[in-house]
Amino acid sequence: MTGLSTATARPAPTPATGASRPPAGRGPSVPRRVRTWLTTHVAMITALTVLLYLFVPVAYTFAFSFNDYRKSNIVWNGAAGPTLKHWRDPCGAPGVCDALVVSLQVGAIATVVATVLGTMLAFALVRHRFPGRGVSNVLVFIPMATPEIVLGASLLTIFVQGFSRFGLRLGFWTIVIAHIMFCISFVVVTVKARLQSLDPRLEEAAQDLYAGPGGTFWRVTFPLVLPGIVSAALLAFSLSFDDFIITNFVSGDETTFPKFVYVSYLRGIPAQANVIGFSMFVIAVLLVVAGQLVGNARKR
Amino acid sequence: MTALAHTAGAGTHAGGPAPGQGRRRGGIAAYLLLLPGALWLVLFFLLPLIQLFAVSLQSGFPGYPGYYYRDVNAGNYLTAITQFAGHFGRSLLYAGLATFFAFVLAYPLAYAMAFKAGRWRNVMMIAVIAPFFTSFILRTIAWRQILADEGPVARVLNTLHLLPGGRITETWVAVVAGLTYNFLPFMVLPIYASLERADPKVIEAGGDLYANGFTTFRTVTLPVSLPGVIAGTLLTFIPAAGDYVNAELLGSDRSTKMVGNVIESQFFRVLGGFPVAAALSFTLMALILAMVFVYVRRFGTEELL
């Protein structure tokens, strides 16, 4: 904390380059220079350490995808050395790819539905004034402030005691319903932020140039909001794909990827799960980086 | 990319009417846009909560475990509070500790991203979010393995005689560490979002006015980022208090269980456990909402909603 505060004293306007405030007159003494270096860089050093900490289990997951283990993938088998066999056969462990497919399907459906519903909600809340707007805002906000376990428990009780009357059984579709529910709020918040940051003059200009309401929307508003909608969809998919607690409550016999991992941890998760988990990480990072590059290219 | 930053930051300014934006009055269009999403939330969020409340008052059918009848049995709440008070205490305590540690780790990171990173800012942003994409269950199990008795960390600490109990996993330390780790990005992103919006000149001026670095931090930087800090603490504390995965995977069988663990086992492993589990869930929610309310009142951001 003290290091942080000393760093705060000098918010270099041109960051990342060390030299701030060249002392007037004589050159600084060596200890003084060391201190200056430390105070300007301490925030960055701490930051990089924290980042490193975030990556420790990812590195572990990656490393143990090469473990040539006998019974369970818990202890590194030094005698056999690293192996590529799990990477060659990522579906080799029973059930792992079935679970992955379920997760991808649930994620795809939940993302599409939640993105559409959430975007509509965001437009209604930002662009319109109507009775009930305040209540709707609260209705969107509260699910995000509710612990997942309460969401899962409440859904379980209504699926088992209420909706089962309509023939709804715990399984694939109850997972989809639940995921859409908790993704909507996050989509609304993301799209709303984008909508609120739009310059209203752009739309006014379109209307001044005789664009009808439909033309203004599809030619001007929608393209401007699209990045927000895309981010919202990505967020929804990652939330859905990674969800365990709610899924565990409403899934019945259906198994998603996180549930598969959780259920099999006592026996030691198969290395194929490490392969899939790490691959998802790589794919996501590549997608994000590609998105950034496209965004940068557009700006130029 | 910006999605998470937006999401995280949005909690701080969402809903506040942005001035000068073209707005339409009511009309059918608004309700048509609103209806499907709102209906979904009513059907699958509000109604289930009401049902959960109803269940929390049900009584078990004597002689038929697993069957319930409608009732106003407040005894479930009494059971929930008296029998599992320790679990509630641990949940709030662990979540509070994890929130504190996450704040201590997140602030320098967010600060460095906002003011020191320059063109590396986006790279660091990706690095904060990236671990998210490896399933959090996988990462928590990885921690379990890393911190295990035969694992590298415990062995080194034991050799140095720095580990009083001789082990890390199966202790509350591991549970709090796991919670801190899992929710750290939720703390980083909103703080970063609020610092990034801040005018660096304001903080610079603070540096010119107060010679002392700590004073600058306390009187200028921290207040500027306060909306982000509040959003971050809520985004960390709420899920942490309801979590049971960390306590299950990193904690011990008895002494470190949290409310989430009890709710989960009452639903799935205790026959006839539904009403008490529902009462536990409701009590947890009420506790969290009350604490959030007091907290938000104290630090005064009504823009949160």
Least confident of B23-32, B63-72, B282-291: B23-32
Which residue carries 């540096």 as its tokens?
Answer: B207
* Residues A258, B2: C-beta atoms closer than 8 Å: no
pLDDT at A299: 65
Between helix B274-299 and helix A148-161 the angle, nearest 10°, is 140
More confident residue, B25 or A15: B25
What CA–CA distance (Å, rounded) separates A145 from B286? 11
Rounded to 5 degrees, what are φ and ψ at A145? -95, 5
Question: With contact defined as beta carbons under 8 Å apart, do B5 and B193 qualify?
Answer: yes
pLDDT at A1: 36
State the smallest CA–CA distance between residue B66 and chain A in angstroms.
12
CATH of the domain at B217: 1.10.3720.10
* Mean per-residue pLDDT, B231-239: 91
B1/A contact by beta carbon, under 8 A: yes
Handedness of CA A80, A84, A89, A91 (dihedral sign): positive
* Residues B6, A13: C-beta atoms closer than 8 Å: no
- The answer to whether residue B54 is domain-embedded is yes
Helices (H), chain A: 2-8, 30-63, 85-88, 96-127, 133-145, 148-161, 172-196, 200-208, 213-215, 222-242, 245-250, 257-263, 271-299
Task: Tell me the residue type at A266.
Answer: L
- The answer to whether residue B280 is domain-embedded is yes
**B72 has pLDDT over 50:** yes
Question: With contact defined as beta carbons under 8 Å apart, do B285 and A146 qualify?
Answer: yes
Express each pLDDT in B186-223 by its tens digit. 999 999 988 888 777 777 777 677 667 777 778 888 88
- The answer to whether residue B16 is domain-embedded is no
Task: Using alpha carbons only, give the angle B25, B31, B35 rounded to the nearest 5 degrees.
Answer: 155
* Residues A292, B241: C-beta atoms closer than 8 Å: no
- The answer to whether residue B227 is domain-embedded is yes
Kindly list the distances between the CA atom of residue A145 and the CA atoms of A138, A140, A148, B97, B239, in Å, as whole numbers in the listed order: 10, 10, 9, 19, 8
pLDDT at B40: 94
Confidence of residue A174 (pLDDT cuts 50, 70, 90): very high
Task: Tell me the residue type at A161.
Answer: Q
Chain B residues with beta carbon closer than 8 angstroms to that of A244: 135-137, 245
Handedness of CA A162, A167, A169, A171 (dihedral sign): negative
Confidence of residue B252 (pLDDT cuts 50, 70, 90): confident
State the smallest CA–CA distance between residue A79 and chain B in angstroms.
17
Task: Using alpha carbons only, give the angle A245, A188, A106 rounded to the nearest 5 degrees.
Answer: 40
Chain B residues with beta carbon closer than 8 angstroms to that of A281: 130-131, 133-134
Percentage above 90 pLDDT, chain B: 31
What CA–CA distance (Å, rounded) separates B280 from B56? 8
Q: What is the rounded end-to-end Cα distance, in angstroms, of chain A?
A: 40
**A31 has pLDDT over 50:** yes
Question: With contact defined as beta carbons under 8 Å apart, do A65 and A270 qualify?
Answer: no
Chain B residues with beta carbon closer than 8 angstroms to that of A275: none
pLDDT at A213: 77
Which residue carries 């379980």 as its tokens?
Answer: A156
- The answer to whether residue B24 is domain-embedded is no
Highest mean pLDDT among A99-113, A118-132, A154-168, A205-219: A99-113
pLDDT at A26: 58
Which residue carries 């005894």 as its tokens?
Answer: B75
Look up residue A127 and give its two tokens. Answer: 């662009």
Which residue carries 């998919």 as its tokens?
Answer: A237
CB atoms inside a 10 Å sphere around CB B205: 13
ipTM: 0.83
Assign residue A190 a region (left: φ > 0; alpha: ψ between -120 and 50; beta: otherwise): alpha
**A230 has pLDDT over 70:** yes
pLDDT at B45: 94
Nearest CA in chain B to A139: B41
pLDDT at B210: 65
pLDDT at B13: 41
**A33 has pLDDT over 50:** yes
Chain B residues with beta carbon closer than 8 angstroms to that of A273: 138
Look up residue B45 and give its two tokens. Answer: 């969020």
- The answer to whether residue B166 is domain-embedded is yes
**A298 has pLDDT over 50:** yes
Highest mean pLDDT among A82-86, A189-193, B24-28, B214-218: A189-193
CATH code: domain A94-269 is: 1.10.3720.10
Chain B (4-33) residues lying within 8 Å, Cβ to Cβ, of chain A: 4, 6-7, 9-11, 13-15, 18, 20-27, 29-31, 33
Nearest by CB to A44, from B29, B52, B112: name it: B112
**A16 has pLDDT over 50:** no
* Mean per-residue pLDDT, A50-77: 86
pLDDT at B43: 92
- The answer to whether residue B36 is domain-embedded is yes
Nearest by CB to A9, from B130, B146, B216: name it: B216
Highest mean pLDDT among A271-275, B93-97, B299-303: B93-97
Highest mean pLDDT among A64-68, A74-78, A105-109, B23-27: A105-109
Chain A residues with beta carbon closer than 8 angstroms to that of B113: 47
pLDDT at A35: 74
pLDDT at B24: 57
**A6 has pLDDT over 80:** no
Q: Of B72, B36, B77, B67, which Cα lies nearest the Cα of B54?
A: B72
> Any idea what DSSP says for residue A29?
P
Task: Using alpha carbons only, give the angle A78, A81, A82 rounded to the nearest 5 degrees.
Answer: 125
> What's chain B's average pLDDT?
82
What CA–CA distance (Å, rounded) separates B34 from B23? 16
**B18 has pLDDT over 80:** no
- The answer to whether residue B17 is domain-embedded is no
Q: Of B234, B183, B281, which Cα lies nearest the Cα of A145?
A: B234
Chain B residues with beta carbon closer than 8 angstroms to that of A158: 47-48, 51-52
Confidence of residue B14 (pLDDT cuts 50, 70, 90): very low
pLDDT at A254: 93
Chain B (56-85) residues lying within 8 Å, Cβ to Cβ, of chain A: none
Range of the domain at B259: 2-11+30-304
Express each pLDDT in A66-89 by its tens digit. 988 877 777 777 777 788 888 888
Kindly list the distances between the CA atom of residue B222 and the CA atoms of B206, B215, B225, in Å, as whole numbers in the listed order: 11, 10, 5
Confidence of residue B284 (pLDDT cuts 50, 70, 90): very high
* Mean per-residue pLDDT, A269-282: 90
* Mean per-residue pLDDT, A288-299: 78
Which residue carries 């960055």 as its tokens?
Answer: A44
* Mean per-residue pLDDT, A150-154: 93
pLDDT at A28: 65
Q: Which of B105, B120, B138, B230 to mutate to test the interface with A (most CBs of A within 10 A)?
A: B138
User: A129 pairs with which residues across the strands?
Assistant: B25
Confidence of residue A27 (pLDDT cuts 50, 70, 90): low
* Residues B133, A148: C-beta atoms closer than 8 Å: no
User: B24 pairs with which residues across the strands?
Assistant: A128
* Mean per-residue pLDDT, A231-247: 91
State the total domains in chain B. 1
Percentage above 90 pLDDT, chain A: 34
What CA–CA distance (Å, rounded) separates A292 from B9? 19
Q: Of B283, B285, B243, B254, which Cα lies nearest the Cα of B95?
A: B243
Q: Of A55, A106, A54, A96, which Cα lies nearest the Cα of A241?
A: A106
* Mean per-residue pLDDT, B129-139: 87
Kindly list the distances between the CA atom of residue A204 and the CA atoms of A80, A146, B14, B35, in Å, as whole numbers in the listed order: 69, 39, 23, 27
* Mean per-residue pLDDT, A31-59: 84
Look up residue A121 and give its two tokens. Answer: 């909600």
More confident residue, B196 or B65: B196
Q: Which of B92, B137, B199 to mutate to test the interface with A (most CBs of A within 10 A)?
A: B137
pLDDT at A155: 94
CB atoms inside a 10 Å sphere around CB A176: 19
Question: With contact defined as beta carbons under 8 Å apart, do B179 and B98 qualify?
Answer: yes
State the smallest CA–CA distance between residue B146 and chain A in angstroms.
8
Domain-by-domain residue ranges, chain A? Answer: 2-66, 94-269
Torsion of CA A151, A278, A227, A235, to 10 degrees: 0
**A15 has pLDDT over 80:** no
pLDDT at A76: 79
What CA–CA distance (Å, rounded) separates A92 from B109? 40
